[in-house]
Structure 1
């Protein structure tokens, strides 16, 4: 409540200016804003509850991952978003992202838990890692190579941008390793300075460590990949999820460039890189339903529950959700309510959300609720707790409208009739070769370069390979098999033998 009141005037003024600007441009549609929990709300509700949109950008990327997973028949995914400053990873299980009910803002130490201001609000559960294309590499006081979490940002950016940056970054290393084409960055709209990147890596990293420029660049790439892999593995395992069961869905400007090594290290069975990975969060905004979250605190042991009171709380929240969504234009028959209870063993200091069945709750359901709590607890912790009573602390309802129906329209960029022929599109898409670094090949090797926009559904080829598009580049290592699916996702079947 305090945080909401604090940011409400500024966010309200900003959203109002945005509405005015859209009206002045004769925008005929409605303005919706993404929530941290993965749904959208009308502008009027965003102005009333601005604390709900604090993490709207990252939530959009996860919503896109969930949507792509649904149409690709992959309900379990690791959503991996890597940009210029940070990488973010989220577990999507059974078609739904994991949700946390508190998070921190304004951390004194950006990636240190407990150094920020706690906010009690539903948010898609993400781990944020200080690893991005602009992350700065350095040799520390102990003579060790470190990468991040500080970043060169977009201005001045990496040395290779030629904007005055002096510190070597992950992007500079990628350029040296041959993963980026200096003449095709941003689709050719921006040239990269390869020699500048090599000088910076030589002076700041290679010479102090007694390495070649190429060894130093690979060290930067390897460290940032291992940093992400270690954090992702811990994040998944702490939530009872085995990353070896989850394909990796990679997006963001830098995500597809680092996803192969991350998937290899995690043991993921496959890597999915969508077309337009650099702007994927926008798909999430379009695919998210209208929704609203409610919570009521009413502690009670399961064996001593006043079921009438519990049903009254749930009905009250469902009624509020129904009214808000109907006021937003959602037909009553298309509104759904998901219910959950935050439960724990008596005496514990934390609780876990447990799904509740539809319909009235009553004493005869207590054994079923206990069994569901134990199932969720076992999944998280691989064991059950002591033989003590179980209690409910909070009751939750998520009210949602229907999932928007999006229809993909795709086109292959080619000037001949091979665009719909999978095998022909591979040869048409091949732009040439360049030297790129793969340790499995003992260093640099001639690597095929493919134009992403010319690869038709059904096209298959093997790594090593580099697949380029305007907003991102996919790196595929030796031994992996690539195919283009019906939605033009690049699907990489991993060999799961980390180097």
Structure 2
């Protein structure tokens, strides 16, 4: 049986077909059909099956990732949503964190939290933090609530009642009553979406889930039916933001977990490659047609987080977006891709993105009606893209249209010819991406200089050396099939599900019987989800506690034994917390009580084992062939660059920049201050030449 992976991006849809041993049989990059993304996915799947000589009946595993959920939230294309909170808490969204994200900005733009106050409703009833019912749910008020929801025009409802994570009975009963009166409503419950304390984050996450749930449920149902009609018999698994996979049913119920699912696949690929090569400190660089994503990987594991923000008003300022509390691979993503549109602002500065030309009409060079200058148009004008081989040769590149767009959109305003306008665009977009990487590293307390960059995506290898130079990264690895890297990463991901529960307790007063019963419930829930996608695999689990000194506002993640806790574990937990606290803050606080707010459990199937990259100690000069005129990014002058076909290169081949290594779905640009060689596994290594020796 073969395995199929489909990653639908904003500009291109990537498709990969592999055999049971993980060997890539065929790949494809097709333009994303924005009106109906399933059409582009079907085209890609049919193409790889035809190229490999397989048919639909031979597909035993299908993994899918999509940007649809992310784009719907960013572009605000979801359902009209209302909220229902406990009486007295109508203004949770208005109050937020009770602070301004930029204290002295008099023109501060508050984040758009989707639901205005006019669609925020309440109902009487109250549950304590312990789970005790203090006041019963006012079921008689349901008729009034239904009327208010109907009059507001809402078709989706986010229910977030106080302390429902401790006792969900009121939320469950309210959903039952609302659906009895309005069966057409789509309802998300906070205890199912994000069963954690902190009502603002929990409400925002539930709103986001309800907002995209109708769209994603319809899309996933149509996607499954379309592929079923073609003859697909195996279940479709969805990539999640945490780097695991889940079933279509779970994805339709909790679509918020699909946000950033495509980039997560890229991080999984980079982590696997890092493990294969024994590289501990890695920077993953994924540049596609719409965005660029950077992720830090330490000891073979991508950096993770329990919270991120959607649609920030200020790109690098926390608090300027809508908080979402789900398990996620932590990365920084900016609007810098091949389709990012360039313009000159009123101060005469070149600006690139975040607006994108997408796949239709796309960059002017695509010849599909686009007229605004993009990053891809700049790369074409700089000579870095071979027109006849772009996108597997299926998409004709119009060099003249690209140059015209550059002159019209940027050149005229600054008095520059097409090539110099393209050079300016390239400098700006590469600095934007490097600045994002530097910012991400500083926030994480990490250093980029000692890291290896793993570059992939349709534009990643093309811009890798230019970004690395600015980020002070000296070594770059470009894996095989980099143009469809995220889709390749899907094939290495396990089926997994993470669940979190809030159960407050002081460490010294921990009720172990109650806690172990809580973990038993969590294991049952998570295993049911994972077994649906991996019915025969052995499963592993990981338990964590989120601990802090009493009175603090933020927790530290501490690993727990993968078994029922016993009294003898308490001293070990205290020691583990103080060790981690000391590592992060250089000291412990003596005499302070330790409290635990949240408990987490992750159940995972077996991921394909990472192999060992074949060794190749030989080095020999690669045979040169054709040459191409490019505008050198180091000297700023036109010069000849060697052009190599990646398929013709052999392990041990070395070459100096400037050079272009061309393959069907991308091009690796070797800048003049880098040299390249192929290792035993066919990966391209780019190493920066020390200044003065190039």
Using the size of structure 1 for normalisation, the TM-score is 0.87
- Counterparts in 2 of 1:421 and 1:102: CA distance versus 1, 3 Å: closer
Aligned: 1:392 with 2:601: no
The equivalent residue for 2:268 is 63
The equivalent residue for 1:432 is 626
The equivalent residue for 1:343 is 547
Aligned: 1:452 with 2:655: no
Alignment partner of 2:257 out of 41, 46, 52: 52
Alignment partner of 1:30 out of 212, 219, 235: 235
Alignment partner of 1:187 out of 392, 408, 429: 392
The answer to whether the Cα contact below 8 Å between 1:268 and 1:496 also exists between their aligned partners in 2 is no
CA distance in 2, matches of 1:241, 1:16: 42
TM-aligned CA deviation for residue 445 of structure 1? 1.7
The equivalent residue for 1:470 is 664
123-132 or 24-33, larger mean C-alpha shift = 24-33
Aligned: 1:156 with 2:352: no
The equivalent residue for 1:100 is 305
CA distance in 1, matches of 2:308, 2:600: 17
TM-aligned CA deviation for residue 150 of structure 1? 1.7
| Residue correspondences, number | 486
283-292 or 18-27, larger mean C-alpha shift = 18-27
TM-aligned CA deviation for residue 265 of structure 1? 2.0
The equivalent residue for 1:354 is 558
What are the Cα deviations for residues 151-197 of structure 1, in whole angstroms up to 9, with x where unaligned? 22222222222333222221121112221123322233333232333
3-state SS of 2:462 partner: helix
CA distance in 1, matches of 2:562, 2:251: 29
TM-aligned CA deviation for residue 290 of structure 1? 0.9
The root-mean-square deviation of aligned C-alpha atoms, in Å, is 3.2
- Counterparts in 2 of 1:216 and 1:396: CA distance versus 1, 3 Å: same
CA distance in 2, matches of 1:204, 1:52: 39
Higher relative contact order (CA 8 A, sep 6+): 1
The answer to whether the Cα contact below 8 Å between 1:60 and 1:284 also exists between their aligned partners in 2 is yes
CA distance in 1, matches of 2:417, 2:605: 57
3-state SS of 1:314 partner: helix
CA distance in 2, matches of 1:324, 1:128: 29
Q: Which runs of 5+ in 1 are unaligned?
A: 411-419
The equivalent residue for 1:413 is none
Alignment partner of 1:236 out of 437, 441, 452: 441
- Counterparts in 2 of 1:193 and 1:328: CA distance versus 1, 3 Å: closer
The equivalent residue for 2:455 is 250
TM-aligned CA deviation for residue 347 of structure 1? 3.4
Written as runs of structure 1 = structure 2, the 5 A alignment for 1:5-44 is 5-44=210-249
CA distance in 2, matches of 1:264, 1:149: 23
What are the Cα deviations for residues 396-455 of structure 1, in whole angstroms up to 9, with x where unaligned? 1110010135889x9xxxxxxxxx99878932xx44111222243452221111111211
Q: Which runs of 5+ in 2 are unaligned?
A: 1-188, 190-205
Instruction: From the CA coordinates, give the structure whose radius of gyration is larger.
Output: 2
129-138 or 317-326, larger mean C-alpha shift = 317-326
Written as runs of structure 1 = structure 2, the 5 A alignment for 1:171-186 is 171-186=376-391
TM-aligned CA deviation for residue 384 of structure 1? 4.4
Using the size of structure 2 for normalisation, the TM-score is 0.64
3-state SS of 1:191 partner: coil
The answer to whether the Cα contact below 8 Å between 2:450 and 2:473 also exists between their aligned partners in 1 is yes
